[in-house]
Amino acid sequence: MNFKFGELFSGPGGLALGAKSAKVVAGGQAFSISHAWATDYDKDTCATYRNNICPDNPKSIVCCDIRKLDFRKLKNISGIDALAFGFPCNDYSMVGEQKGMDGIYGPLYSYGVNALSIFQPKFFLAENVGGLRNANDGKALDRILHELHQAGYVVTPHLYKFEQYGVPQARHRIIIIGIRNDININFYVPAPTHVIPVTCRAAIEKPPIPNDAPNNELTKQSQQVINRLQLIKPGENAFTAVLPEKLRLNVRGAKISQIYKRLNPDKPAYTITGSGGGGTHVYHWKENRALTNRERARLQTFPDNYIFSGSKESVRKQIGMAVPPLGIKIIFEAVLKSFAGIDYPKIENNIKNSTPDSQIVPVRWYCLRNKKNILSVKTRCE
């Protein structure tokens, strides 16, 4: 059984690579997932996805802001059996302003709900940051789970800690799996696969990155940054290290723990991000420099032959916003095993929807509050 896979907010292809890699065989029958179509708004991101996931079917990638997209265009490409949408996390991230549903990006999950109503796939996977649990005093996640249930799905949300699934990075993400409610299939959260996590040193050095590997350009460091890094030990940052006055950062308020933070080579990396100014590029445990994009990609479990398109900063953004394909492969394989009737090690999901329906504010209310922002998008769809 092959599930045709459509994707909204596709990013550079972390979810798609995990989906394509997932394979299960039961009773002589193979269960797999294959690409049907995908859409994202960023040209470099779309090029990366197109070149790596579906080079033989380039027209299956629709580069468009989803707020301007006619879903009939996707339906004309192909019907689907599975849908994924890693809806934008900007307004839910702990690093940002945490506007939640009141931000520009917060209500965009509703396009995933709309796609479920239109395509009615057998299952879906939705992804977002752990901060979603706390957005709008916890009501945003309840709202989203309610909408997904109302679209006709039995939903299983869980906060996955990807370092427990072989990803060499402490990356914690909410993954919601939904099975269409007319299908007699139960999905359970797969149990962690790694008691001992994979270290960032092992990910970057075993095997060594080839000298001619793509996206492996070094970032030039100023002498002041080099001087600062020389005094920062593995696992320390610019605020926990002992630095002379001339090398200290003049920052008021919160002292962000990842600023000029060196990796600890004996632990998984801290979370790789897609944006940020000086000091946020993730720093090597021994060499006095920021990681290359290829090293960052390894921490995200992308293979070395996965080539990212665009400028160095664009590639950094794509890698940081991606979902680790190795971790997501395990989740997709659990879904396939559920359809194949194969038992697998499982744990109880750690997120429940506890808000009564009467207390859930309709999504239209949030969209109306953001109507000016939503309707002012001027992106041309291709």
Residue 252 in tokens = 């008021």
Determine the pLDDT at residue 272.
Answer: 95
Domain with residue 89: its CATH number is: 3.40.50.150
d(CA 102, CA 4): 34
CB 109 within 8 A of CB 101: no
Determine the pLDDT at residue 141.
Answer: 86
Question: Which pairing describes strands 82-85 and 123-129: parallel, antiparallel, or unpaired?
Answer: parallel
Any domain includes 260: no
Determine the pLDDT at residue 138.
Answer: 67
Any domain includes 35: yes
DSSP state of 132: G
Determine the pLDDT at residue 139.
Answer: 77
Q: Helix or strand or coil: residue 53?
A: helix
Determine the pLDDT at residue 334.
Answer: 98
Find the domain containing 175 and state its range.
Answer: 2-196+324-375
pLDDT tens over the chain, length 382 residues = 999 999 999 999 999 999 999 999 999 999 999 999 999 999 999 999 999 999 999 999 999 998 899 998 899 999 999 999 987 644 344 444 444 344 444 468 889 999 999 999 999 999 987 777 776 666 778 888 999 999 999 999 999 999 999 999 999 999 999 999 999 999 999 999 999 999 999 999 999 999 899 999 998 999 999 999 999 999 999 999 999 999 998 876 556 688 999 999 999 999 999 888 888 999 999 999 999 999 999 999 999 999 999 999 999 999 999 999 999 999 999 999 999 999 999 999 999 865 445 444 444 433 333 433 333 333 335 4
Determine the pLDDT at residue 143.
Answer: 86
10 Å CB burial of residue 209 (0-12, 13-18, 19+) is middle
Query: Which one of the listed residues 54, 89, 367, 381 is annotated catalytic?
Result: 89
Active site residue 381: no
CB 158 within 8 A of CB 189: yes
Any domain includes 338: yes
Any domain includes 73: yes
**Ramachandran angles phi, psi of 46, nearest 5°:** -65, -40
d(CA 170, CA 269): 6
d(CA 278, CA 217): 17
Number of folded domains in the chain? 1
Determine the pLDDT at residue 352.
Answer: 83
Determine the pLDDT at residue 135.
Answer: 64
Determine the pLDDT at residue 316.
Answer: 97
Longest dimension (CA), the chain: 68
Any domain includes 33: yes
Q: Helix or strand or coil: residue 190?
A: strand
Determine the pLDDT at residue 342.
Answer: 96
d(CA 123, CA 177): 7
Any domain includes 337: yes
CB 344 within 8 A of CB 190: yes
pTM beyond 0.75: yes
Determine the pLDDT at residue 312.
Answer: 96
Any domain includes 342: yes
Look-up: residue for tokens 């307004």? 91
Any domain includes 313: no
Q: Helix or strand or coil: residue 156?
A: strand
